[in-house]
Structure 1
């Protein structure tokens, strides 16, 4: 805690900083999980088989619990990669709008690389009978990945700065 001079010349204590920065990777994990929850809600409503069958099949598993856990884990890892991108290009996170737009663009890039190209190859390689063809172009998947990116991009800067309680009153 520091002191400062007042108009009357009496020193008073200043309040400590009320905001504490969290590590960018932590904000990426949390933002990625939040984005994956939003995307997962869409999947439950529109294409539950992806969450209950296709995603767990990538790892030789079955069931909605496994698919949900894997989907959230993927969201966290991909969120860390987003955090690394924003650390390398901090101008993309200067405002909430820029970060949200960067998140949406990131969601499209993730969709192209992972959903359109990698997932169908991976599912075919593990012998999943319902593996989609290559390329796997799905509007629903695109919308889901954009939702993921929007939530991640909006959450990231807010998560980077979180309020803390002061010990001094």
Structure 2
């Protein structure tokens, strides 16, 4: 499922960034629905606060920022699985879940509390913030990312 393309200058490119973007967007959308269902202020205040787009609550901006982050993280995922030469569907989906958990640890639990505190957000959680619902959200992001990447990496 990872692609290897020889270019005119002889370099090799691994992974499929387009499938990473698509998987990252799909994963972020599904994750965003879970976040809204379980803890709307995360999307409406915390995420847009990262870029001083809230308060007041701004769920649309939060969703746009969240999906943008998902797309960028999907491209990084594509690069990682390409570098690791992963192409078996089960391994790609598993790597997606692992990537989702890694993003939870690094970004949600460690970076986000510091960043929100630095911008003075009223939604700043304690540091570190290893919240179990957030782990679920990020694992689902990774599951969808890995699944969509697997399904599309040879097609786009």
Q: TM-score, normalised by structure 2?
A: 0.86
Equivalent in the alignment of 2:51: 59
SS at match of 2:155: strand
- 1:82 paired to 2:74: no
Separation of aligned partners in 2, 1:158 and 1:130: 37
Q: Tell me how far apart the structure 2 counterparts of residues 161 and 26 of structure 1 sit (CA, whole Å).
A: 10
Which runs of 5 or more structure 1 residues have no equivalent in the other structure?
1-20, 164-169
Of the three residues 91, 112, 122, the one matched with 2:105 is 112
Alignment partner of 2:139: what SS?
helix
Q: Following superposition, which runs of at least 4 residues in structure 1 exceed 3 angstroms of deviation? A: none
Q: Equivalences for 1:6-155 in 2 at 5 Å?
A: 24-62=16-54, 63-90=58-85, 92=86, 94-155=87-148
What is the number of residues matched between the two proteins?
A: 140
Partner of 1:9: none
Structure 1, residues 114-133: CA drift from partner, whole Å, max 9, x if none?
00000000000000122001
CA distance in 2, matches of 1:107, 1:160: 18
- Distance, in Å, in 1 between the alignment partners of 2:108 and 2:101 is 10
Question: How far apart are 1:88 and its partner, in Å?
Answer: 0.3
Q: CA deviation at 1:149?
A: 0.3
TM-score of the superposed pair, with normalisation by structure 1: 0.80
Question: Could you tell me how far 1:87 is from its partner in structure 2?
Answer: 1.1
Structure 2: where are the runs of 5+ without partners? 6-14
CA–CA separation in structure 2 for the residues paired with 1:84 and 1:138? 28
